[in-house]
Amino acid sequence: MKRREFITLLGGAAVAWPLVARAQQGERTRRIGVLVAPLESDREAQRWISALREGLEKLGRNDGRNVRIDVRWGAGDAQRLRASAVELVGSKPDVIVAGGGSAVERLKQATQTISVVFAAVSDPVGGGFVASVARPGGNITGFALYEYSIVAKWLELLKQLAPSIDRVAVLYDPNDPTNRGQLPEIASRAPAFAVQSSTFSVRNAAEITDTIDAFANKPNGGLVVLPNPVAVVHRELIAALATKHRLPAVYPYRFHVASGGLASYGVDFAALYRGAASYVDRILKGEKPAELPVQFATKFELVINLKAAAALGLDIPVSLLARADEVIE
C-alpha cells in the first residue's frame, strides 16, 4: 500500500471510530424483568434463571453490559407473588419473563401493555393467557409445557408403579390457574384407571402435613402432586411424608424425584427458559408478542427413584425401568 493511500485510510478510520463509539454510548440499556414463584434460595429455580441468562448471552445480550435483568421472587406465597408482579410492572421494564402460570396470571392482572414472555406454563389457551397458539393476540406469548390432559399420564404412571392403588389424593394450590384447569381432567379420567380421586387444597407446610397424614389412615392410597409453587417450595416435605406413610407418589418434574420423590413425568424447565430468551431478543428488536406463536415442549422425561421405591416396598416393573430416561439409585 502506498503511503498516501495509507494516510487516507487512517484518516477515514479516525473519523469512523468516534462515530462508532458515540453509537455504542448512545445505545440504551434494555431492561428485562423476571418473575418466578419459588424461593430465591431454591437451587432449581436458580438453574432456570441461569438458563435464561445463558440464552440471552448467546444472543449478545449480557446482564450489566447492554441489558439489566431484574429478578423478583414469589417464595411460594400468592400474596407476595402478586405484590412482586405489581412492583415489577411499576418499574417499567422493556419486557418481562414469567415463570409458571401463577406468575403469568399476576402479570396479566397488572399490565396489558408491557410484553410478557412466559416459560413453563400449562395450556396457555385454556388458562386464558393467549387467544390462540398460532396468534396469541395480546401482550403475552412464550414457551409452554403441555395441555391439561397430561394428568392422564400421571394417573397411568401411578397405577403402573403400584397396581393395587384404588385411592388417589391430588394435591393442588387453589391460587394456581394451571391446577384449576387440571382438576376437572383428573376427575373425568380417574375412573378409567379404577381409582377414586380426592382433591386437597394446600397452601403451606402445615396443610400439606395435615392432608397427607389424614389421607394415609386408609390403605391402597397414592398421591398425584400437581405442578404449582407450593409443591415446588415444599417438595422435600412432600417426598418425606410420602415415604413415611408408604404412599406411592407421582410428580410433574424431575427435581421432585431428585428431592426424594418416587417418579415423575414432565419437561425440563431450563430448556423452556432458554427458549424464552429467543423471544425476549426478538421483542427487544421490535417484534410483537401478539404475532409470536406459542411454542410447546417436545421432549418429555420419565424419571424413577429406586431408593424411594425400595423405601415404599415397591418392585418397579422392568418394562417401566426400560422406558425411563433416568433412574436414580
The pLDDT, as a whole number, for residue 6 is: 35
CATH fold for domain 25-146+268-296:
Rossmann fold (3.40.50)
Find all residues with CB under 8 Å of 152, minimum gap 6, and list them: 185, 189, 192
The pLDDT, as a whole number, for residue 18 is: 43
- Residues 155-180 have a mean pLDDT of 96
- Residues 131-135 have a mean pLDDT of 97
The pLDDT, as a whole number, for residue 174 is: 94
Among candidate residues 108, 226, 121, 125, the one with its CA nearest the CA of residue 173: 226
CATH fold for domain 148-266+301-328:
Rossmann fold (3.40.50)
Residues 246-262: tens digit of each pLDDT: 999 999 999 999 999 99
Domains of the chain, residue spans: 25-146+268-296, 148-266+301-328
**Residue 158 above 60 pLDDT?**
yes
- Residues 172-178 have a mean pLDDT of 94
The pLDDT, as a whole number, for residue 27 is: 65
Residues 135-147: tens digit of each pLDDT: 999 999 999 999 8
C-alpha cell at 98: 414469567
- Count Cα atoms within 13 angstroms, Cβ side, for 254: 16
pLDDT band at 28 (very low <50, low <70, confident <90, very high): confident
Common-topology check for domains 25-146+268-296 and 148-266+301-328: yes
**Residue 11 above 50 pLDDT?**
no
In which residue are the cell numbers 418481562 written?
96
